[in-house]
Structure formats: C-alpha cells, structure tokens
Structure 1
C-alpha cells in the first residue's frame, strides 16, 4: 500500500490484549505506517511496554464494566463517556486514519470515538466465546477480526474475518532448548514442565503445581511463573526442591517456551496462541469464573484438536496433576502427537492478515 496510515491500537489492560497489539504495531511499522498504542495505567501495561522503546505508547483511563444491574453502572457510564472524549481528542490531534481495538472494555472508548469521527474502526477477539465488551464494540466497527472460527456466530450481521491472534516478534523464531534452559538454570537433558500461573485466578493453580511437585518422578524439572503477587508464597512452598525454578513476572517467554516440554496453564486466548506457536502439548485448567465460560470454550478448541488435556479445577488435586503431567512427559509418542496438534492450531501470519485487512479497507 503506497499511502502511509496513522493507526491507533487500543490494547491495554492485560497482557492478552497488549502483546497481540504490539505484534500488529510492529508489522504496521515494518510496512511504513505510523502507530500509536493506547494502554492503561496498570502496572502490567507499564512493565510490559517498557521494553518496546521504539513504539509510541499513550495512557488512557481503563474502564471496567460492572454488572449491568449494579449501582456502579452510573459512574461507569460517566467514566466511559469521559474516556471516549479523551480518546476523541487524541485521535484528532494524532490525525488518525484507523482505530484497532484488541479487545475488552479498554477498546470500546477509542473505537467508539473513531467511529464518531468517521474513521475505519476494527476490533479483534481472540476467544472461542467472545466477550460482551467486544460484541458491543463491534457495533461501531468496519470489520471484526477473529482469533478462531468458533467466535464467528457471536457477531451476527457483522463483517468478520478469521485472522488468528498475533504473537510478538520475539516469539516468531524461538531460541534453542539449550539457550532456554541456560536462561533459567535448568538441565536441557531433563524434561521441563512450564507452569504459567501468573494470570487471572492464579492462586489455586499455583498451589496445585507446587503441591504436585513432590509427587513428580525424579528427573522432571519445573519452571513456574507464579506472578509477582504470589512469588514469595510459592517460592517458600517449594524451597529446597531440586529442579524447581520459580520466577515472578517473566519477560523472557520465548526462552521459557524453548526450555519446556509441557505446559500447565489457564486457557486465556493469548497464552494459548503462544503455546500453539511454540508447538507444545498442554494441560489446561480453565479459570472457573471467567466471563461466559470463555476459558472453557478456548480449552475445548485445543482439547478437541488433541493438543491439550482439559481438566476442570474441581476435578483436580495434586496427585492427579502429578500423574497426568508425568504420564505425558514420560510418553514421547503422546508428547509428539499433542505437539503436532498444537502446531496445527497456529496461525503464524496473523499480524500480516490483520494488516492486510486494514489496508484493504482504505484502498
């Protein structure tokens, strides 16, 4: 495309929105477009965006929707209106051509503001069961981008395209296993279970992983991303256990995937996108209180494809988890079959597909 576009990407609030937004921004910049990313004032946004000094970030007020019948709806609507006004001024000052929301209520005010200004507007939804925020935001969109085809029926009478969910540039070519193991002090010749507990509803998953470690066969290592809030507690729980590495916030996910043989995680869409890209088998324990059970729907996509074992939290204890993990890690044929199924779910050109679709609407 010859014309350089000014694109605003609203992607704050969670890593699941931020990292795919950064991936799209990197692709747009490589194509010669100008990009501004809108993030929230949350620490997760500040910490994660700090390593991308070549990208422009602006903060806007994050607006989380309460329950519809909650008395907090009135102040929510007021904040939403104010944030939309702030976004409108930002878009006019920036002279934006396009607004892309990467999901959640952080996307609604910028997309709505762009719609009111007559700009091309888009929203991306990663989940098999799209969130209500994105369904509402889609009313103001030129087109809706979907991470998986299972989301399409929820956007009736909307122009949709399945693009996949982008991964960050650093994830495109993973380091070697030896590099990954060295980064975390692991033995590359021994199997590694990667626990991704630093996410929504992480405490119970962290507990299960820590408790099960004493029941794992000797030789299995654990790399546990516990989250900054739970780091000290998990570290104390597994103190002295050989081959058990605990980290809080991990900004070296490419190295973590490269070092690992099996994933234990919740089933947020962005994390699953990276698991598929890394081609790793997984044990998925959906967060039982996720909105509209979207994590269960996400996990079902991987389970039905043979890429993951889906286990509900209510059905899991430390012994069952240890047996399940060791059974997969000690069965090379099963591991490889699940890994191939995971790779088949990957859409490696998702960022390019999104950029192509944006450019096509402005020809």
Structure 2
C-alpha cells in the first residue's frame, strides 16, 4: 500500500453506507489505506468482510434536531464526536476526509475543517442534503451522482462539482447469464422476472403493491416470477401471506437480498424506490425500472432523482399515491409483454449509468494527495 491514508465517513441509512463501502473497495484496490467511520448504531448495515476490522471505527454522532429542549444534549454529543473524529484523523495520519452524507458524517467533516485536512463530499441525490449544503464551501471537490445537482448549488461552487456518479460495490457486477441467475432464486421456470426492492429498510407501499398484484392480478402475472425484498420489519407478514399463495413457487421472498448482483442479472424489470444508490446499480446492470419515489424524502429528492431516469427513458416514474395494483398492473403488463421496449429501456439505463464512479473518485482524491505531497516537498 502507498503511504496515503483517507477517512470515509457516512451512515444513518444503507444509502449512505453502501457507496462508502464501494469507495473503500476502490481505494483498497489502488493500494491506499482507507479508514471507515460510521454511526454507533450503523453496524446493522454492514456484513462480515465489508470493512477490515482494523479499518472500521464507530462514534456516537447525534441526529440533527429542531427541539430546543434537546439542543444541549445534541451539542454535547456533537462536540464529543468532533473530538473523537479529530483524534482519529491525527492518530491514523489521514490525508483526506470524504463525507458520504447523512448526519453521521457531520462531526467528522467539522473535525476535518478544524484540522485543516482536505475535505471531499459525495452527494448521492439530485437535491443536495443538509450536510453537503453545510460543508460545500469547505470542500475541495464535490462528487455528485447527477449533473442536475449543479442547479441546486451556488454558481461559485460549480467549479468544484464533478458529476462522476455514485460508487457501486464490486459484488453488484456479477458475470452471469439470466437463466443461471433465475435458477439461483428457483425461478428458472418463469418466463419473466420482476425484482421488487424498497431500499435498505423496505418500503410499505411497494410491499403492499406487490402483495396486491399477486393476490388480485394473478392471472395477469401468470408465468412471472418475483424476487421480493421486503425489508426486515415486514418480512414475517408477507412470508405468512405468501405461504397461502397457490403460485408460491414463483416468489423468492427475503428481508434483504445479499447477492443483489445476481438478482439484477435475473430481472427483466425492477420496481423500486428512487434512491440514487439502487438507481445507479440498476443503470450499471442495464435493468429497466418502474420507480416509485418516497414522498417524504428530504427536499423531495427521490422525485427529482426519478425525473432524471424517466426523462432519459431508462425508467417509468409512478407517484406513490398511484402505486396501487389497479394502476400499476397495466403498466407492468405492457412492459413485460414488449421485449423491444425493455431492450430500449435497458440501453438507456446503461447510458445513464456510471459504473466506474468509485475508481474515478478514488483516482481524483489520490491525485490531489500526490500533488499536495509534491507541493510540500517543493517539487
């Protein structure tokens, strides 16, 4: 490994942690030591082997609050988290801090500012989140998933913005043909496969939609298999319901799909929320999609994300209020029956994807670290 060391920080949801893990992989692949700092309760988003034990650190970063009675406790926890992050930066000899978004990253980014350590931001969504907005002027570069994010940042920040994409984990890129992938989920007998995913914590409306499609539009979905990720909270409910389904053999039900790369290979189309992480994975794998934005996302960012792919022809956007079986069944049926349309959407998806985002971001940061070293050495 080279002498360069970076600190990646993020958490709160899988949408902030997964691209952070992907970026960790990219740095490690280039021989750079990467440390990963996340929230005290975010271990649930990590699997064994995601981050090497010596590179993984936790701290008690507090969630933002508007409750004036909770502000003193928030302030105390924030300061303590800044101190812990600053000590980590010093002890590990960190050359750059990269924030992946979410409240968890804020104290470490503040520590980077105080320590005068070069700071970088990764903004996953079209509309910048609070952390990106707060630290944008302190950042050396702002890596974005979408070019459209430029419209939401002040003009003097545009020169720092690089729309390189959202880092994608290596396990997503599975080299497998569709029939072999379908066999993994016991769906080889199905003529079509729909992948239903609601994000790291599941999505109630998508779960209800899939359940309704299977119970009330079974004839329309004859021969269609479903890979269904319910989220941990809803898994038991739909597992029991599915057991009574006469076509249970055409459903693969799981709280979370560990080998999502195989699921992408098996799927003819996906039904999903429009978080940027899953969108860019679908794009990289050329999977057409029906996107149902989460209506309560901060700054309505999922709506804006979905607009990008809908306009590009990679997806069909359906509002959450319209995500009911009676309205979705005709759309889904028409797409599944038209191979030409699916192939066109797949091409559009690949065109919108940025599969090399992790490598490109890592390369940019490493280049800056090398140049900083040359300047200090007077080269």
Per the TM superposition, whether the score is higher than 0.5 is: yes
Q: Aligned equivalents of 1:179 and 1:30: distance in 2?
A: 29
Q: Which deviates the most, 121-130 or 23-32? A: 23-32
Give the match for residue 203 of structure 1: 204
One of 222, 225, 237 as aligned partner of 1:218: 222
Question: For 1:73-222, what aligned pairs fall within 5 Å after superposition?
Answer: 73-156=71-154, 157-158=156-157, 159-187=160-188, 190-199=191-200, 202-214=203-215, 215=217, 216-222=220-226
Q: Which deviates the most, 135-144 or 192-201? A: 192-201
Give the match for residue 17 of structure 1: 16
1:53–1:79 Cα change, 3 Å: closer
Q: Aligned equivalents of 2:76 and 2:311: distance in 1?
A: 43
Deviation at 1:232, TM superposition (A): 0.5
Q: Aligned equivalents of 1:24 and 1:93: distance in 2?
A: 22
**TM score, norm. by length of structure 2:** 0.90
**Structure 2 gap segments, 5+ residues each:** 372-379
Q: Which deviates the most, 173-182 or 294-303? A: 173-182
Contact persistence 2:276–2:305 (CA under 8 A)? yes
1:198–1:22 Cα change, 3 Å: closer
Deviation at 1:240, TM superposition (A): 3.4
Deviation at 1:360, TM superposition (A): 2.7
1:257–1:115 Cα change, 3 Å: same
Does residue 1:41 correspond to 2:44, yes or no? no
Does residue 1:314 correspond to 2:312, yes or no? no
One of 318, 326, 335 as aligned partner of 1:328: 335
Contact persistence 2:289–2:314 (CA under 8 A)? yes
Q: Aligned equivalents of 1:48 and 1:181: distance in 2?
A: 26
**TM score, norm. by length of structure 1:** 0.93
1:41–1:182 Cα change, 3 Å: farther
